[in-house]
Amino acid sequence: MALDFVAGCIGGAAGVLVGHPFDTVKMRGLYKGIGSPMMGLTFINAIVFGVQGNAMRMLGVDTPVHQFLAGAAAGLIQCVICCPMELAKTRMQMQGTGEKSASRRMYRNSLDCLIRIHRKEGVRGINRGMVTTVIRETPGFGVYFLTYDTLTRALGCDADDGYIIPKLLLAGGMSGMASWISTYPVDVIKSRLQADGVGGANRYDGIMDCVRQSWRREGWRAFTRGLTSTLLRAFPVNATTFATVTLFLMYMREDDEGVKDCEAMRPSLQHSSL
């Protein structure tokens, strides 16, 4: 069981190394400030792949429906970490906007941000946007693992296939893109709710009010704004994450029951030694 969690840690770290430059706009270096996302996303991926792998073992049979359900369960559980982490990221990015001076920095780092929010708003404050996070992550991770399962089966990649790495990268990248496409409008609403009230009065009364106001002001484009850049980032990040996880598990389990193909070595599959 521990292998799934360890694989998630390694895959998450690899994904951060690939994706962080896409998030960096400062000229001081592509990997400046990588420490916080490295710790957070590594831990989240450990939860995701660990829960998904163990859920598949509990479900017993490897089917597309079970892949979706196991992924959805993983997405749901990691919301406990994901929601506060994304709230801190949003608030850090919003510093100096609105009514507050652009030169003033309220938060030193993500942890300081969450501590200050907790002091001011309590537990409810640091979990702002939790409902929309659950709505996004639960089906999103279901689609994530279902797509990867479907593509690895369709590509028929064998462990001794010279093209196994490109195939895994393609399957992982497309899985990340499919997941984002399926839930992106919810992510827009979540981000707006988490940023609401920074530097001024609250604009939205809740999820539906945010949806109505966004639609009234911007139309359908409000729910796809930034999608292209998100997908461009999603492909390399998730390609790296999934390929790293699968290859790590393949290496660690290569003597297990003589398994030889990557379909049988997918992160979710059962092995008698686990």
What tens digit of pLDDT does each residue of 111-155 get? 888 999 899 889 999 999 999 999 999 999 999 999 999 999 999
CATH label of the domain that carries residue 45: 1.50.40.10
Query: pLDDT tens digit string along 46-56?
Result: 999 999 999 99
Is residue 254 in a domain? yes
Torsion sign (Cα): 169, 22, 10, 52: negative
* Domain annotation covers residue 101: no
| Angstrom distance (rounded) from CA 70 to CA 50 | 10
| Interacting residues of 233 by C-beta distance below 8 A, sequence separation 6+ | 19, 22, 23
Residue 151 lies in domain: 1-22+33-93+108-196+204-261
In a domain, 273, yes or no: no
Token couple for 184: 């992106």
Give the span between the Cα atoms of 112 and 183, in whole angstroms.
30
- pLDDT grade, residue 90 (50/70/90)? confident
Spatial neighbors of 6 by CB under 8 A, at least 6 apart, are: 46, 248
Decide if 11 is inside a domain.
yes
pLDDT tens digits, one per residue of 226-249: 899 899 999 999 999 999 999 999
Burial of 48 (0-12, 13-18, 19+ CB in 10 A): buried
pTM: 0.84
Task: Extract the tokens encoding 128.
Answer: 């702002």
Higher-pLDDT residue of 73 and 250 is 73
Task: Look at residue 272 and tell me whether its pLDDT is greater than 90.
Answer: no
Report if residue 28 sits inside a domain. Answer: no
- CB 146 within 8 Å of CB 67: yes
Q: Is residue 268 included in any domain, yes or no?
A: no
User: How high does pLDDT run on average in the chain?
Assistant: 83
Residue 272 inside a domain? The answer is no
Q: 146: which 2 tokens?
A: 């279902």
What CA–CA distance (Å, rounded) separates 138 from 222?
22
What's the domain count of the chain? 1
**Residue 20: predicted pLDDT:** 67
Task: With respect to residue 241, please indicate whether it lies within any of the assigned structural domains.
Answer: yes
